Amino acid sequence: MIKEKGWNRLLTRLLFTGPTLFAFVTVMIVPFLYGIYLTFTNWDGISTTQSYVGFQNYGEVFRDAVFWKSFGLTLQYVFFSVVLINAVAFALAYVLTKGLKGQSIFRAGFFLPNLVGGIVLGFIWQFIFSNVLVYFGQQAGIPIFSASWLADPDKAFWSLVIVTVWQYAGYMMVIYVAGLMGVPNDILEAASIDGANGWTKLRRMVLPLMVPSFIVCIFLSLQRTFMVYDVNLALTKGGPFKSTEMVSMHVYGKAFLSRDYGVGQAEALVLFVLVAAITLIQVYFSKKLEVEA
Amino acid sequence: MVGSRSSSAAWLKYVVLAVTLFLFIVPFILLLLNSFKANQDITANPLSLPGRLDLANYTNAFDKMNYIAAFTNSLIVTVASVLIIALCAAMTAHYFVRNNTKFNQYTFLLMVASMIIPFQAIMIPLVKVYGSLGMLNSKLSLIYMYLGFGSSLAVFIYHGFVKSVPAELEEAALIDGCTRRQTFFRIVFPVLAPTTATISILNVLWVWNDFLLPSLILTGPAQRTLPLSTYNFYGTYSVDYGPLMAGLVLTILPVIVVYLFAQKYIIRGVMQGSIK
């Protein structure tokens, strides 16, 4: 590369990296660091000053039973959602890479929910669960649908899981499709000639070769489900009786509704550390499963 | 015999797929059907077909949602953010690849690592910092924040592709008397067009539908984007189902229209965005 000199070089640098880095630092890094500082203060959201309170907020986080209940609930929700999202997505992708006629139309259809924001999806399903299914259940005499799922704590939880799976399955399907198209056909044919049936080929060849796609999809679904907010807000608003209040909504409420900013931010950081640990452990261990064709 | 068995298996597969697809999109169909019905018809039987194409719900929702204003706000924020992210990130990624100093390497690593930070860990201090600077309730601030939040992933994806652009191409241009800037805009950026498309598609889906960040930044009614105005509309008129359904259809409509034309590119964009 030909080197520029002096002023010109600095100018190029500023022009090429200046706007991005300035925005990155002021929007991501500064608030992140300032957020760590905030957890050691008792800021109430209104006053211009705040005083240093040491580790008091963190003590509060560990005593906040509602936070940990909400965190446990989120863990359950994340577990079921991630497993189901990836199972449905992989099954769809597997069927839709077999060269069926019209498979691209099917793919496009399954992807549809991803075009729409969580708020709108949540409202649509709120209508489905509390009107359509109730009507259907009463007319067809199916007791499980006769009362709104959103009014029952257990069923409301599963409603949230169902909507989440429905929302993300199509997105992950697209990633699995990309992975499956990269599985070389010749080794599958060679296996067929050697007498391997469809199930053996799937288990022994396709699944091991698909590990990179699984890593990406599980990482993405972990991140998105841990941080669920929009769908949670629009579908159940955390109800009934906070039985579906996921941890992101709890943090929001703590800070912006209870005006307990120090504790809210401390909870947000605890959440960040736990989620980062879980996702990195997942990536680290699944990397070891990778094979080459 | 084998032939007939495999063809009936193929049929079965089609039927199962078609039923699954139907279950996937039936919420949208029900939404559309009910958006034409009066409130009492919806509560009486949400599965019935609308008697006629009554657009009263739509005109009602259109007014109460301030649809034109919200749509314009969403459009401005999305278009500006997506263009700025693409341009700035491409330049930065290019600079990082061609000036591979220690400082640039660490900066790049910091950006990649920052992608693990969820928005929820930043939102509280973000609101405090920008609130005290008096920068809330402005679309410009929001666009600026999208650049900050979106640049990491975009720089990361561009970084991978810039490496595949031969440096000789640029050196030839520099020898011919082009400046760094001219080389970037006339040679590198056009070569990166497919990557720009991928990144822009991912960003459009994100920014257009985002709720939490704009709900914290855009505090006044006049600045509301479509998701905010939908949420607000739903909260205010939660008993009258007809206009609500119409409002949701109006919110979805723009993306569906774009999807009909750009479906192939959107799916491909998601695929390529994930491979990196």
Q: Which residue of A has its CA nearest to B96?
A: A17
Q: Which residue of A has its CA nearest to B206?
A: A117
Separation between Cα atoms, residue A254 and residue A246, nearest integer Å: 12
Q: Which two tokens stand for residue B173?
A: 């241009």
On chain B, the residues whose CB falls within 8 A of the CB of A128 are 27, 30
Q: B98 and A280: CB-CB below 8 Å?
A: no
| pLDDT tens-digit readout, A189-233 | 888 888 777 777 777 777 888 888 888 888 888 888 988 888 888
Distance of CA B174 to the CA centre of its chain: 37
Shortest alpha-carbon distance between residue B119 and chain A (Å): 8
What phi, psi does B101 have (nearest 5°)? -85, 165
Q: Is B276 on the interface with A (CB under 8 A)?
A: no
Scanning B14-33 for CB atoms below 8 A from A yields 14, 17, 20-21, 24-25, 27-28, 30-31
* Band of residue A117 on the pLDDT scale cut at 50, 70, 90: confident
Q: Is B63 on the interface with A (CB under 8 A)?
A: no
Task: Tell me which range, A4-13, A78-87, B108-117, B215-224, is most confidently predicted by mean pLDDT.
Answer: A78-87
For chain B, domain boundaries: 2-56, 69-236
* Band of residue A130 on the pLDDT scale cut at 50, 70, 90: confident
Q: Inform me whether the pLDDT recorded for A268 exceeds 60.
A: yes
Q: A119 and B92: CB-CB below 8 Å?
A: no
* Band of residue A83 on the pLDDT scale cut at 50, 70, 90: very high
CB pairs under 8 A between A and B: 244
Scanning B80-119 for CB atoms below 8 A from A yields 84, 88-89, 91-92, 94-96, 98-99, 107, 110-111, 114, 116-119
For chain A, domain boundaries: 63-287
On chain B, the residues whose CB falls within 8 A of the CB of A38 are 124-125, 128
CATH topology of domain B69-236: MetI-like fold (1.10.3720)
Scanning B179-218 for CB atoms below 8 A from A yields 180-181, 184, 205, 208-212, 216
User: Percentage of chain A surpassing pLDDT 70?
Assistant: 96
Domain A63-287 in CATH 1.10.10.10? The answer is no
Q: Is B270 on the interface with A (CB under 8 A)?
A: yes
Separation between Cα atoms, residue B79 and residue B56, nearest integer Å: 31
Q: Inform me whether the pLDDT recorded for B2 exceeds 50.
A: no
Q: Which residue of B has its CA nearest to A220?
A: B274
Q: A19 and B245: CB-CB below 8 Å?
A: no
Burial B68-81 (b: 16+ CB within 10 A, else e): ebbbebbeebbebb
Q: Which residue of A has its CA nearest to B231?
A: A119
